Amino acid sequence: MPIEDIHEFITELEKNGELKRVKTEVDSNLEIAEILRREMYSNGSAILFENVKGYDIPVLGNAFGSMKRLEIGLEMTDFTEIGQRIADMTKMDIPSGFLNKIKKLPELSKMASSFPKAETRGPVTEITSSDASFDDLPILKSWPNDAGRFITLGLVATKHPETGVRNLGVYRMQVIDKTHAIMHWQKHKRGAHHGDISKDRGEKIPVAIIIGGEPATIFSSIAPVPEGLDKYLFAGITRKQGIKTVKCKTIDLDVPANAEIVLEGYVDPEDTRDEGPFGDHTGYYTPAEPFPTFTLTGIMRRKDPIYVTTVVGKPILEDAYIGKVIERSFLPLIRMLQPEVVDYSMPAAGWFQGLAIISIKKRYPGQAKKVMMGLWGMGQLSLTKMFVVVD
């Protein structure tokens, strides 16, 4: 059975010697982030901080900070399986004729099992309130010159205002007071696209911030899936079993039933404020820029929630391992669109978007240029600064 939530994930990490528990009191202001970075730089473990100063909620960090931990969470060792499942689904023909359809039933049944399943309640609905505050959560400040506390591993749920296709993305959020935070969704991100459509319609967009959930759902939120693919379905494809969802209480959105915490609210595209500076994955601070504001309207949470976070900085940290799994996962899809591609690598030292090395089976002059131009037009690869193509 797939891992259902963060609590099960912690149990599996501990069984495999991939988790440390810290019972000594620690501070969410700089201290936890520094401990997590030092642990990652020494190829260390995931850490569960059980005694966070001023809070009764534990903090989990570095949960995906090694290939072994990702193998445990996603329950696979060959991550190209994920992309291959999507490729197989896109190639699947729905046959005509009763007998032919009967023959296809096993494949169709396997696909159907990946779809999300709506529930009336779940662990995340154990406590609900419209009197919510960011101050109740042990949100970290990671670097001395950061503009404040940032939610760094919140799964930002939106849906397309016209088609209803659901999206999950991981966009950092700078907390500015008890009920407001700045949403750092860049223009090329799908959440920002949904926000722009709402702005054109003169509307605010409902948004839910999900903390925790199935490891596959967290991974799916980060993964740059093909346009139009529902992220909740992608999570089901990844884990070979659909995730369970519940309705939010104050907004019209579905969220994973097995999450730890769900922060409900809306983004007002017209209300922008300066976000940053923020110590980023490049090893430098990103300067302040205007982004839209999120307003908190309600909270759902477990009775015993765990706050899941990540820290970024000079490589190699947790994001490098997640990036490597994304790289492996999408190789089959790249091959489907560019058949001459044999393999590719996006080294952590190049910050992933800085450099991609592509191996091709060359058949004619100029083929490398053709491959590069094709890849520069594909999703997140469009942000890559340099391609190196080798035979």
Q: Shortest CA distance to 277 belongs to which of 169, 150, 154, 189? A: 150
Is the backbone of residue 25 left (phi > 0), alpha (psi -120 to 50) or beta?
A: beta
Give me the phi and psi of 114, to 5 degrees please.
-85, -15
What's the gap between Cα 11 and its chain centre? 21
Measure the N-to-C terminal CA separation of the chain; round to a whole number of Å: 41
CA dihedral 267, 272, 276, 278 (to 10 degrees): 30
Radius of gyration of the chain, Cα coordinates, nearest whole angstrom: 21
Take residue 157 and report the two structure tokens written for it. 């749920």
Catalytic residue among 146, 254, 280, 319: 280
Catalytic: 280? yes
Take residue 53 and report the two structure tokens written for it. 């100063």
Q: Which residue has the tokens 């659901």?
A: 166
- CB of 145 within 8 A of CB of 285? yes
Residue 158's H or E segment, with its range, is strand 155-159
Question: Which residues are catalytically annotated?
Answer: 280
